Structure 1
Amino acid sequence: MRDLLIVLLVLGVLPSAFRHTYVAVNLWTWISVMNPHRLTYGFAGDFPFAAIAAVAALMSLIISKDDLKLPKEKAVILLVLFVLWMCISSAAAYYPGESFVQLKKVIKIQLMTLIAFAAIKERRHIELFIWVNVVSLGFYGWKGGFFTISTGGNARVWGPPGGLIEGNNEIAVALIMAIPLMNYLRTVVEHIWVRRGLVMTMVLSAAAALGTQSRGALLALVAMGAVLWMRSERKFAMGIIVVLAGVGLVAFMPSAWEQRMSTIAEYEQDGSAMGRINAWWFAFNMANHRITGAGFEAYTGELFAAFAPDPLDVHAAHSIYFQVLGEHGYIGLLLFLGIWVSTLGLAGRLRSQTKNDEELKWLFNLAGMCQVSLVGYAVGGAFLSLAYFDLPYNIVVMVVAGHGCLLAHRRAEARKVVMPSTKEFERLSSNRRVNLPSSG
């Protein structure tokens, strides 16, 4: 039944996806972020739904009559350069065959990100895109939140099988990043029950993130709570809400969870933490040795024996920063960081330029929540390998598209000032008429 439902949903959306690129982008996003086919038990589990959505997006570029143009924002340019540099580092990789296999997966995500930049232009496009991301992850927020509550926090929450967020740490950061987007939607929807549902989804997603028992998730939640408080116009009320929510969720968790979180300050005695530090040193030494880094799929005993302090403790990078550093060198890391710094800066400018405009309040709130979400990624991502996950790049799309909406609004306002109304034009014309003297 689940298999048939997924197939019918995809087939139902495909005709519109061929006609409108932004629909194809949303179909891809739903499949890529949520992995709904992985929740089935039959033929749909291995069906290439993502490839179908990608083909629909590429075909729509030819068929669609929509205005498709890549914005010339700094974040977009840096992303293109980052992709090109990953191609270079893969060609120079220690294991080029394995590296190119991973590169193809990353290229698919980034190609769809670039198509999203070109297709998502209007407010309705942006908010539909946000809804797709929120629903895709909110499903796991409800599922994981109720699981955490029903087990008293004694069992660990995991992500959907077969995807980038399968692990407990990965699904935790993904859920945390989605919470600010849920909060944005709460500020713009009109139906009270939809708002209440979004609030419930936020609470359950936070509970699910804690239920993953991810220490990075706890740090990300704390950082996001601090930014939410700073962003609030009513800091006293928001401070009380954040503290009460945090205390309530933490108080619910069992003593085993508290003991695990306490190891954050005792990392020297934690084998997992020391393994990550060993992998970080490996990435640092690798970047110092090769300007292009090691390429993808470089975490092998052979390379750890040459570049890691402990050659026997082979770990993945477990950090978006050291992951990019080890795989693509310092140039790759600078381009990667540049994407996020430029996006945060663009969101900040968007907030400052819309702060006192009631008509553009939605842009002010959107930019702020995107900043909060990226703070969660910056902090939580410091402890897991999630450098190529779709959601952070989707948030870049939201910010860039939001800035495009602001520019379009300004152009429309300028046209109103420059072009007078019909009556005003007639009045101005009559005032400028000159009565010529008669010839008699």
Structure 2
Amino acid sequence: MLRSLFLIGVFLGFLGLGMAAPFVLSLGYVWASIFRPQSVAYAILPAIPVSLILGALAILWFVLRDLRYPPRMTPVLALLLAMAVWVTFTTAVLAIAPEMAWTKWDWAFKTIVFAAFMVFVFRSRIQIEALVQVICFSFAGHFLLVGVKTLISGGGYGKELGLIGGNTGFGEGGNFAAATQMCVPLLVFLARHNLLAPRWKLAPLGYLGLAGLALIASVGTYQRSALIGLAVLGIAFWLRSRRKLLVGGICVAGALFLAFATSSAWLERMETIDDYKSESSAYTRILVWQWTLGFVADHPLGGGFSSYVVNEIAVPPTPERPEGYVQHGRAFHSSYFEMLGEHGWPGLALFLALNLLTLLNMERVRQQARGREDFLWCRDLATALQLALLVLLSSGAFVGIAFQPMFWYLYALGACLQHHWQRASADFRVTQRADALAATGRVPRSLRNAQAKAAAR
């Protein structure tokens, strides 16, 4: 009951603070979509549509109280809206399993649309950092417990270690591992640049400790996709680091710790990556991907959400099942094949374009902010978003997480940072020009108006 009362307090806190600062309501929606308080609480909250209340109030209060200086239409924002329209079309017109398709559309569509809405809401450095904090701590509510249990018991494949059970959402090990690893670069960024947390000397160590627990929790799932994500994360950190010797030493030390601290069961499961045909789960995924390619050859526009339910996979004999067997309705187990099978080549093209544009935009921010100490946080956040997205893209090759909030909130964060950088750098140039002209005693009226507009932001 205490857990339920605490979560009700958090919910009411978002509502109360949101009345004074509309962007807090959007933070509340992000918290509800990631942490899933309705699934965690024992009483009261499961009967309340938390996400619906917070989302509706966020949009309404933004229109009434905070609608100013909206961002111009950019390729990323246009792609988000195009994806929302396309998945609605495939669900309404092309769905092979309409009932299941509309069920998934209900939450996937909301995730996409709210990600587009977030671009309008989070404008300042404080607001963007608050969004990063809420994303990380909402996920931490899940992986903190798993990290501690893994340190004590060693984790295990298929075990329910977190707050949410079952084999869907963040209760599924692959989804969980990808999300926790995504948080690592964001937590490292917060350890260096946070403004909202109390200015304690140990605060950076707290963020780094959470990042370490996230890595441990991902290992504790025994997911092979987690090992791939770890490798990509380590290499990307080393390539982006300004202290390659230090980061390289940390990566090597972490690899050695992993080798000596993990159990033989974890090592045996990881070894099945090399010999996928001897492990039915891995081999069945390949057969599902082959089926998906054949499916889109006949349905190039996709079959709508959950179209995998019509597949029929004939698994040849394996050491585990020497007689072979037929499996029906096997999930895609890949973000790319999930997008391809459900929404066809147009959906996959939109998905890849969103990821590529976000990575390129963050690289542009990194390059333009280079050497600017006042915008060092922009450069480091752009780097963190790149690393987080690369982790999801690598893990997502083997886990169906294309419509989980992690991807879409990263797109939104990248767009928010890009818009903030464009405004802040333009305002900085206006100020510089005004200071130069003020020294001569001549400041044009147009420049004074530009200064006033910049100050109002």
TM over 0.5: yes
My pick for the range that moved more, 140-149 or 97-106, is 97-106
Residues 378, 425 of structure 1: CA spacing in aligned structure 2 closer, same or farther, 3 A cutoff?
same
Counterpart in 1 of 2:448?
none
2:415 to 388, 400, 411: 400
Q: Does 1:196 align with 2:197?
A: no
Shift of 1:389: 0.9
2:170 to 165, 173, 176: 165
Q: Which consecutive unaligned segments of at least 5 residues does structure 1 have?
A: 430-440
1:358 to 366, 373, 379: 373
Residues 264, 71 of structure 1: CA spacing in aligned structure 2 closer, same or farther, 3 A cutoff?
farther
Q: Contact 1:38–1:161 at 8 Å: present in 2 too? A: no
Shift of 1:153: 3.7
Shift of 1:422: 9.0
Counterpart in 2 of 1:347?
362
Residues 179, 421 of structure 1: CA spacing in aligned structure 2 closer, same or farther, 3 A cutoff?
same
Q: Does 1:256 align with 2:260?
A: no
1:380 to 392, 395, 412: 395
Counterpart in 1 of 2:60?
59
1:181 to 160, 180, 186: 186
Residues 427, 110 of structure 1: CA spacing in aligned structure 2 closer, same or farther, 3 A cutoff?
closer
**Per-residue CA distance 1:198-243 (angstroms, 9 max, x = gap):** 1111111111100000000111111110000000111111100111
Equivalent position amino acid for 1:252 in 2: A
Q: Contact 2:308–2:341 at 8 Å: present in 1 too? A: no
Q: Percent identity?
A: 24
Q: Contact 1:165–1:171 at 8 Å: present in 2 too? A: yes
My pick for the range that moved more, 144-153 or 309-318, is 309-318
1:367 to 376, 382, 403: 382
**Per-residue CA distance 1:57-111 (angstroms, 9 max, x = gap):** 1211332134262442222211211121111111211122331222121111112
**Per-residue CA distance 1:407-440 (angstroms, 9 max, x = gap):** 11222122224435896464799xxxxxxxxxxx
> Take 1:68 and 1:412, find their aligned partners in 2: how far apart are those partners?
14
> Take 1:285 and 1:353, find their aligned partners in 2: how far apart are those partners?
45
Counterpart in 2 of 1:32?
33
> Take 1:291 and 1:87, find their aligned partners in 2: how far apart are those partners?
16
Equivalent position amino acid for 1:73 in 2: T
Q: Contact 1:18–1:56 at 8 Å: present in 2 too? A: no
Q: Secondary structure at the match of 2:421?
A: helix
Shift of 1:257: 0.5
Counterpart in 1 of 2:11?
10
> Take 1:291 and 1:231, find their aligned partners in 2: how far apart are those partners?
38
> Take 2:216 and 2:237, find their aligned partners in 1: how far apart are those partners?
18
Shift of 1:13: 2.1
Q: Contact 2:336–2:348 at 8 Å: present in 1 too? A: yes
> Take 1:253 and 1:110, find their aligned partners in 2: how far apart are those partners?
38
CA RMSD across the alignment: 2.1
> Take 1:65 and 1:149, find their aligned partners in 2: how far apart are those partners?
45
Q: How does 1:210-359 map to 2 (within 5 A)?
A: 210-300=219-309, 303-305=310-312, 312-314=326-328, 315-359=330-374
Q: Secondary structure at the match of 1:264?
A: coil
> Take 2:432 and 2:216, find their aligned partners in 1: how far apart are those partners?
51
Q: Secondary structure at the match of 2:400?
A: coil
My pick for the range that moved more, 21-30 or 55-64, is 55-64
**Per-residue CA distance 1:133-163 (angstroms, 9 max, x = gap):** 1111123232111100111345746442476
Residues 292, 202 of structure 1: CA spacing in aligned structure 2 closer, same or farther, 3 A cutoff?
same
Counterpart in 2 of 1:124?
126
Equivalent position amino acid for 2:326 in 1: L
Q: Contact 2:139–2:180 at 8 Å: present in 1 too? A: yes
Counterpart in 1 of 2:452?
none
**Per-residue CA distance 1:6-25 (angstroms, 9 max, x = gap):** 22221232133245442111
Q: Contact 1:347–1:370 at 8 Å: present in 2 too? A: yes
Residues 15, 59 of structure 1: CA spacing in aligned structure 2 closer, same or farther, 3 A cutoff?
farther
Counterpart in 2 of 1:109?
111
My pick for the range that moved more, 102-111 or 362-371, is 102-111
Q: Contact 2:71–2:120 at 8 Å: present in 1 too? A: yes
> Take 2:292 and 2:72, find their aligned partners in 1: how far apart are those partners?
34
Q: Which consecutive unaligned segments of at least 5 residues does structure 2 have?
A: 316-324, 445-457
Equivalent position amino acid for 2:217 in 1: A
Equivalent position amino acid for 2:120 in 1: A
**Per-residue CA distance 1:374-427 (angstroms, 9 max, x = gap):** 111011111111111112211122221111121112221222244358964647
